[in-house]
Amino acid sequence: MSKVTVVGAGNVGATCANVLVTQGIADEVVLIDIKEGLSEGKAMDIMQTANILNLDTRLTGVTNDYEKTAGSDVVVITSGIPRKPGMTREELIGVNAGIVKSVTDNVLKYSPNAIIVCVSNPMDTMTYLIHKTSGLPKNRIIGMGGALDSARFKYFLSVALGANPNEIEGIVIGGHGDTTMIPLVRYAAYRGIPASTLMPAEQLEKVAADTMVGGATLTKLLGTSAWYAPGAAAAQVVGAVIGDQKKLISCSALLEGEYGEKDLCIGVPCILGKNGIEKIVEFDLNEEEKELFRKSAEAVHKTNSALSC
């Protein structure tokens, strides 16, 4: 029996819960929020699709009652405020740090063995905050950002190539920020064929640029930050852990010398399995990519310095 808790029944949390249920990723899902009735309502709405969609997962919604989350294998933290048009993810740090810290304390009280998936922004810094304050081993703290950014990269590649997104390879590493993420264009491929041989350099550069502002573009269109792909990407990470899938997914992980950096959480290729981050895979970066990663790490360190822990 697998149990997953999703904290925050807002746009991203409810979408994540919906994907967990509709794809049967966990046997039991608990959706929890501080807003009275919100998680109960969203859970009931989702569960009313059970008969239509032939679903087996049990989803319940609770208001701030952490006892109901007891014994969770994985906890996804989406609680906090999202950005509005024109805002950066980094501007959310003040409010979200307090929320993420108190939520982590609460979930670990009832699920001391859980693997934590942090979604709240600024995600790399919130993931680092959990490291600093929870005392959990580093493999049990996963930041979700690279899974989403890589999905967006593959989407834009597929549009440029007129191809099926499922046949595209692409990964984004570095910080989860508009200027800090690094779409690894050199490793992007269509059915194993380097994307750089299939389109002009300027087009590939535009794909990378569109990826980097992918979140901001949607925030402008929607008036708040996106949720379908973020929720699905969080569920993908949960599925890799619950299913012990050993999938390579870009996640924010604590570095201790990997990629030449330490004492920060930042997006790197990770193998995910039942123990959480089971391995950080070190890609062979060229000098230009190494410099981009160094700059990205510098920016994440700077945001981390605003934390009071």
Ligand X SMILES: NC(=O)c1ccc[n+]([C@@H]2O[C@H](COP(=O)([O-])OP(=O)(O)OC[C@H]3O[C@@H](n4cnc5c(N)ncnc54)[C@H](O)[C@@H]3O)[C@@H](O)[C@H]2O)c1
- Whole-number Å distance between alpha carbons of 74 and 275: 10
118/280 with CB nearer ligand X: 118
- Kindly report the number of other CB atoms within 10 A of residue 300's CB atom: 27
Q: Which of 155, 181, 185, 183 is nearest to 168 (CA)?
A: 155
Least Cα distance to 77 among 195, 275, 237 occurs for 237
Q: Find the binding residues for ligand X in span 19-78 (CB under 6 A).
A: 33-35, 38, 78
For position 99 contacting ligand X by CB under 6 A, the verdict is yes
Between residue 125 and residue 144, which ones bind ligand X under the rule CB under 6 A?
144
Report CA Rg, the chain: 18
Nearest to 102, CA basis, from 32, 17, 18: 32
Nearest by Cα to 91 from 213, 172, 177: 177
Site string (224-243) toward ligand X, x via CB under 6 A: -xxx--x-------------
Give yes or no for residue 83 binding ligand X (CB under 6 A): yes
Closer residue to ligand X in complex, CB, 119/208? 119
Q: Which stretch binds ligand X (CB under 6 A): 20-28, 97-105, 127-135, 235-243?
A: 97-105
Kindly state whether residue 13 participates in binding ligand X, applying the rule CB under 6 A: yes
Determine if 7 is a binding residue for ligand X (CB under 6 A).
yes
The token pair at 2 is 């697998």
CA distance to 38, 145, 186, 195, 284, per residue, from 189 (Å): 42, 21, 8, 5, 16
| Site for ligand X contains 12 (CB under 6 A) | yes
- 301 given a catalytic annotation: no
Nearer to ligand X, 153 or 227 (CB): 227
Q: Which is nearer to ligand X, 10 or 170 (CB)?
A: 10
- Shortest separation between residue 75's beta carbon and ligand X, angstroms: 12
Q: Is 8 in the site for ligand X (CB under 6 A)?
A: yes
Cβ partners under 8 Å of residue 287, min gap 6: none
Tell me how far CA of residue 109 lies from CA of 6, 33, 96, 128, 189, in angstroms: 15, 17, 20, 20, 44
Question: CB neighbours (10 Å) of residue 198?
Answer: 17
Does 175 help bind ligand X (rule: CB under 6 A)?
Answer: no
Binder among 11, 111, 150, 304 for ligand X (CB under 6 A): 11
Number of residues that bind ligand X (CB under 6 A): 34
Rule CB under 6 A: say whether 181 interacts with ligand X: no
The active-site residue, picked from 3, 176, 190, 242, is 176
> Mind telling me the catalytic residues?
176
Residues that bind ligand X (CB under 6 A): 7-13, 33-35, 38, 78-83, 92, 96, 99, 102-103, 119-121, 123, 144-145, 148, 176, 225-227, 230
